[in-house]
Amino acid sequence: LTDLLDLATAIVERATSGEDIEAYVTHERTFQVKAYSSEVESLASAEPRGAGARLIRDHRAGFAYTTDLTDSGLNAVVDRARDNSRHATSDEATSVAPAWSEEPPEISGLVDRSQSDVPADDKVAFVLELERATRAQDPRIRAVEEAVYSDSEAEVAIATSSGVAGSYRRTDAWCYALAIATEGDDTQIGFEFDLARGLAALDADDVARRSAHRALEILGASKIPSGRMSVVFEPYVSAQFLGVLGSALTGEAVQKGRSLFAGKVGTRVAGDGVHLVDDGRLEGAPGSAPWDGEGVPTSRTGVISNGVLDSFLYDTTSARREGRDSTGNASRASFKGVPHPSPTNLALAGTGESPDQIYEQAGKALLVQDFHGVHSGANAVSGDFSVGATGRLLQNGELGAAVKEVTIAAPMLEILKGIQAVGSDLRWLPFGGSFGGATTLIAEMTVAGL
Amino acid sequence: MLQEEVVGQVLAEALGRGGDLAEIFAEERSSTGLRLDDRRVEDVASGRETGAGIRVISGDRSSYAYTNLLTADALVEAARAARSGLDGPAGVVASDLRRTQGPSHPVRIPPQEVGAADKASVLVEADDAARAEGGSVRQVSASYSDLRQKVLIASSDGRIAHDDRTRVRFAVQVVALRNGEIATGFEAPGHSGGFELLAPGDPARLGASAARKALTMLDARPSPAGEFPVVLAPGSGGVLIHEACGHGLEADTLVKEASVYANRRDERFGSESVTIVDDGSDVGAWGSFGVDDEGTPAQRTVLFDRGVLVGHMSDLQSARKIGYPPTGNGRRQSYAHLPIVRMTNTYLLPGQDDPVAIFESVPRGVYAATFAGGEVNPATGNFVFGMSEAYMIEDGAVTYPIKGANLIGNGPRVLEVIDAVGSDFGRKEGVCGKDGQAAPVTNGMPTVLLGRVTVGGTEA
């Protein structure tokens, strides 16, 4: 296969004078195996590759992508991007990334070098063990609906007519189990996963234990009476909350009137001691990369500092609209998509307490272990937040009855202002981005049940 | 796309080390998309993709490999990857291929014959009409997308099918702002067909409608929380059936007994007025096709007949395990994915009740006009749905809009509390996600009364 950066450069060279162009080319090797009931249910392997070209002419951007990486395929993708550009509205802010003043430093730990030598048999054995171990946790674990191991080795290259040219590699491996627990008439599902750069760092026993535990501990759950009460988010849940918040924290969302944070820079949006940081260079976090989806070097951005909204997250276009620099937050789902800003690794800074200390501090509260219906019940434009929840009652630090079929609701700004503690148990969750979850105490929300 | 000799050669290679069935799924896909946001047409994009996936089934195990190249060499290589791990004697590939065929969905104006300028202008028409609804309209985004997907599916048991699918979708979202209150409105029709989806005047009508929804919701008061009668609007309420009943009747979850409906065929779940079907053959509907992604013709499957559970949806693998013929519900997002059991167009069929009388029967309740989406746990049947447009009903009349309302409950129980089924009907198009794969689906239903169900809101 031709070198990926050469392909990206070959696309850039097809632009003519008066045109700016950006080429984004990826090549992956993926593998996935699923186990069910002690057997391999499916195995899938693939090697997808493709290129996306964004061409800007007269401040109009057009995009096209292709899986045909022959000379004629590259000609066609540039021609189609050029055709498409004629139908976009002229926009002075539209631009490719500026040239690098120096090569962005590498991020260490993006590649597990041993991963490419792991035989498929080891991956199959891993997922069979994950499935077996999950079932073996407790007699009430009736089955494991799915046990999955998946990995990817990817190379990404970018080149622009402004002079950006680079490529990097990353490996990813992840696994999850869905445990089904049954007792009497009640059935509950527990989902847990692990995520690392390679198979060697995945812990099947831990995922088995946690997924079974999640299903088991909400068996026999019931509704509780409606009312206002303190709420504690588990890490898994606080990361989902940050996922919703993150979509409102981009410069683009604010400029386009689609953010509850519009007009709030410099104002208090959370309590003292609350810090929210986006860091695209954080070692060990899943969303890290040397440069973003446009080739801009990634960086660390303080979004909320001591409760005050400091900055939004920008790609090149949204930054130019405000006469500032990109924060390196352009993201693209694959070679098939155009870049748009989104968080890289977004997390609340811990306030020092352990989860147990937070449970105690919460007094009488609802410990939320899972949200349901977040994508429909949370609105990052209006700030409305009303979602289904399962979890446990908390009383003076002790875990009590399991709770299901309740909804919890509060305006998102009230939730932020109600944050009283962020635990030391930070965990990264890949919910359409990379979000750091930690046990988080919220002063008060409306719980609707009976 | 592929010569039939190549198909035979690849299938023979795939079964070269044994296995019960080999299958090739090849596709050519071209798409265009345009987005208008903040008064600018941007993200004008088009894509071309080709690829083929090869599956080898051996007992309960499926192996899959795919390639972007449709050359004989690349396909043979993928076939070898798909058979890896097998070491039995070569399986037999049927020498005669029988053509299977399903319903066709007419395309009157092929999108590839419509210029990008015309596609951009429908966005501008919707934007202008939305903004004309009033100064509180703060932002409008609109998108247009079309897709043409030509597929060939052939399997070693001698079936071959071609399908040529064209889909068009148009969406408009409006954000309104007044006195610090923000509200949104949304319209997003789509169909299996061509650019005729958007007749002259339609983009403006949809833009204005989304704007009026947003403006109405500016005056919304916080939703009450507690148990109430809920009236579901035609169309949008269908998502409840999709989530609460449909997912649990996908045979993959039934086979694994991971469904609340497992082993409950012939049980009564609702009244005589509750009949629910899944119909991939509904001509021109967004979730329709000719054959599914395993070559099984699209069909209408009755899931609940007058309240009684009578059917399920299956693909080839789950049909074999459950012991019934496949229902044409094996779908995949693209050649890069294994087929899985998916819904198509899922409808609660119209009943006998007068929609007006349904409202008049409610002393105090909630009218769920539009759902923003929902989520269900198939094993437990528990669901949550957010309402993006909802109203209070007082003394039989719709009185004021409410915000932050959602519906929480349990699938089988919700069928039990369907107290009235209207004689009207509506459809809403959507995209359903399962196992990381997206599929176009339609939800349909008439006006429906749920006697008593939990509404979550901010007013305790």
Please tell me which residue of chain A has the smallest CA distance to B42: A88
Tell me the C-alpha to C-alpha distance, in Å, between residue B344 and each of A20, A238, B292, B300.
Answer: 43, 34, 10, 10
Token pair recorded at residue B450: 């749920």
Q: Is B411 left (phi over 0), alpha (psi -120 to 50) or beta?
A: alpha
Contact of A203 with A209, CB cutoff 8 Å: no
CB-CB under 8 Å, A373 with B384: yes
Query: Does A66 lie at the interface with B, CB-CB under 8 angstroms?
Result: yes
CB contacts under 8 A, A 193-222 vs B, are: none
pLDDT band at A303 (very low <50, low <70, confident <90, very high): very high
Q: Which residue has the tokens 């919220």?
A: A442
What are the strands, taking DSSP E only, across B123-213?
Answer: 137-155, 159-178, 181-187, 190-192
Counted across chains A and B, CB pairs separated by less than 8 A come out at 250
Q: Please give the C-alpha separations between residue B194 and each of B43, B280, B343, in angstroms, as whole numbers.
A: 21, 18, 22
Residue A379: per-residue pLDDT: 85
Identify which of A106, A93, A26 has the alpha carbon closest to the alpha carbon of residue A61: A93
Residue (of B380, B88, B90, B405) closest to B244 by Cα position: B380
Do A376 and B384 count as a contact with CB atoms less than 8 A apart? yes
Return the bridge partners of A240, or none: none
Q: What's chain A's length in residues?
A: 450
State the DSSP string of A155-191.
Answer: EEEEEETTS-EEEEEEEEEEEEEEEEEEETTEEEEEE
B37–A41: do the CB atoms touch at under 8 Å?
A: no
Mutate to test the interface with A, among B377, B443, B452, B453 (most CBs of A within 10 A): B377
Mean pLDDT of A307-324: 97
Give this prediction's pTM. Answer: 0.90
B44:A45 CB<8 A: no
Q: Which of A257, A336, A386 sits opposite B386 (nearest CB)?
A: A386
Interface of A with B in 140-169 (CB under 8 A): 142-143, 145
Which residues, including other chains, have CB under 8 Å from residue A384's CB and lie 6 or more apart? A378, A409, A411, A412, B403, B404
Span B445-454, average pLDDT:
95
pLDDT, residue A1, reads 44
pLDDT for the residue B459:
64
Residue of A nearest to B78 (CA): A46
Of B38, B183, B258, the CB nearest to A382: B183
| Cβ contact A373–B258 (<8 Å) | no
How large is the average pLDDT for residues B435-445?
Answer: 95
Per residue in A334-390, pLDDT tens? 999 999 999 999 999 999 999 999 999 999 999 999 998 887 788 888 898 988 899
Strand ranges (E), B315-417: 330-331, 340-341, 345-348, 364-376, 382-394, 397-403, 406-410
Nearest by CB: B45 against A44, A338, A410 = A338
Residue of B nearest to A49 (CA): B68
Tokens at B224, concatenated = 């009450």
CB contact under 8 A, A409 and B139: no
pLDDT in tens, A74-117: 999 999 999 999 999 999 999 999 999 999 999 999 999 999 99
pLDDT tens for each residue of B8-26: 999 999 999 999 999 999 9
Kindly write down the DSSP assignment for every residue of A235-286, as one continuous string.
HHHHHHHHHHHHHTSBHHHHHTT--TTTT-TTSB-S-TT--EEEETT-TT-T
Contacts of B384 in chain A (CB under 8 A): 372-373, 376-377, 387-388, 407
Average pLDDT in the B149-162 region?
Answer: 95
For A84, the closest of B44, B177, B404 (CB atoms) is B44
How many Å apart are CA A21 and CA A14, to the nearest integer? 9
Q: Model confidence at A186, in pLDDT bands (50, 70, 90)?
A: confident
pLDDT of residue A390: 92
For B251, the enclosing helix (H) or strand (E) is: helix B251-255
Residues 6+ apart with CB under 8 A from B179: none
- Tell whether A227 lies on the interface with B, counting CB pairs under 8 A: yes
Average pLDDT of chain B, as a whole number: 93
The interface predicted TM-score of the complex, written ipTM, equals 0.87
**Shortest Cα–Cα distance, A65 to chain B (Å):** 5
What distance in Å separates the CA atoms of residue A51 and residue B144, rounded to the nearest whole number?
Answer: 22
CB contact, 8 Å: A125 with chain B?
Answer: no
Q: Which of A62, A377, A407 sits opposite B44 (nearest CB)?
A: A62
Whether A93 and chain B come into contact, CB under 8 Å, resolves to no
Instruction: Write the DSSP assignment of A174-236 as a string of letters.
Output: EEEEEEEEEETTEEEEEEEEEEESSGGG--HHHHHHHHHHHHHHTTT-B----EEEEEEE-HH
Contact between chains at B50 and A68 (C-beta distance less than 8 A): yes
Closest CA to B67 of A68, A325, A423: A68
Disruptive mutation site among A32, A42, A142, A413 for chain B (greatest number of B CBs within 10 Å): A42
Restricting to A residues 358-397, those with a Cβ less than 8 Å away from any Cβ of B are: 372-379, 381-388
User: Do residue A44 and residue B338 have CB atoms under 8 angstroms apart?
Assistant: yes
What are the tokens at B246? 């449909």
Q: What are phi and psi of B359, to 5 degrees?
A: -65, -40
Give the list of residues 6+ apart from residue B71 with CB closer than 8 angstroms, or none: none
Give B350-377 pLDDT, tens digit per residue: 999 999 999 999 999 999 999 987 777 7
Percent of chain A's residues with pLDDT above 70? 99
**Distance, CA of A86 to CA of A309 (rounded, Å):** 38
pLDDT (0 to 100) of residue B85: 78
Structure confidence at residue A433 (pLDDT): 81
3-class secondary structure per residue, A273-284: CCCEEEECCCCC
Contact check, Cβ <8 Å, A84/B454: no
Interchain pair B51, A67: CB under 8 A = yes
Q: State both tokens at A335.
A: 């070679």
Q: At what angle do helices B202-218 and B116-131 cross, to 10 degrees?
A: 30
Is residue B147's pLDDT more than 50? Answer: yes
Record: contact B64-A44, CB cut-off 8 A: yes
CA B90, B95, B96, B101 dihedral sign is positive
Q: Is B49 exposed, middle or buried (0-12, 13-18, 19+ CB in 10 A)?
A: buried
Q: What is the DSSP string of B25-71?
A: EEEEEEEEEEEEETTEEEEEEEEEEEEEEEEEEETTEEEEEEES--S
Question: Is residue B330 a contact partner of residue B301, using CB atoms and an 8 Å limit?
Answer: no
Q: Do B382 and A336 touch (CB under 8 A)?
A: no
In chain B, which residues have their Cβ closer than 8 Å to the Cβ of A405? Answer: 382, 408-410, 454
DSSP B328-339: S-EE-SSTTS--
DSSP string, A387-419: EEEEEEEEETTEEEEEEEEEEEE--HHHHHHTE
pLDDT reading at A5 higher than 60: yes
Residues in chain A within 8 Å Cβ distance of B260: 187
**Cβ separation B61–A384 shorter than 8 A:** no
Give B41-71 pLDDT, tens digit per residue: 999 999 999 999 999 999 889 999 999 888 9
Signed CA dihedral, B189, B195, B201, B203: sign only: positive
Q: Which residues of B touch A378 (CB under 8 A)?
A: 386
Place of tokens 């029988």: B98
**When comparing pLDDT for B34 and A384, which is higher?**
B34
CB nearest to A143's CB, from B256, B386, B455: B256
Distance from CA of A273 to the nearest CA of B (A): 27
pLDDT digits (tens, 9 = 90+) for B371-414: 987 777 777 778 888 898 999 999 999 999 998 888 888 888 88
A30, closest residue in chain B (CA to CA): B65
CA distance A248 to A261: 7
How many Å apart are CA B247 and CA B278, to the nearest integer?
11
CA nearest to B433 within chain A = A375
CA distance B68 to A69: 10
For residue A448, give the nearest of B63, B68, B457 by CB distance.
Answer: B457
Among the partner residues A226, A257, A384, nearest to B404 by beta-carbon distance: A384
Determine the distance in angstroms separating the CA of A427 from the nearest CA of chain B, rounded to an integer.
Answer: 22
| C-beta separation of B347 from B276 below 8 A | yes
What pLDDT was estimated at residue A2? 58
Written as six digits, the tokens of B274 are 């509750």
Across residues B324-352, what is the average pLDDT?
Answer: 97
pLDDT of residue B380: 77
Lowest mean pLDDT among A177-181, B106-110, B170-174, B235-239: B235-239
Mark yes or no for CB contact A386/B256 under 8 Å: no
Residue B48 to residue A67, Cβ atoms within 8 A: yes
Cα separation, A244 vs A36, whole angstroms: 33
Q: Quick one: closest CA in B to A65, which residue?
A: B47
Closest-approach residue (CA) in chain B for A178? B258
Find the residue in A nearest to B380 (Cα): A187
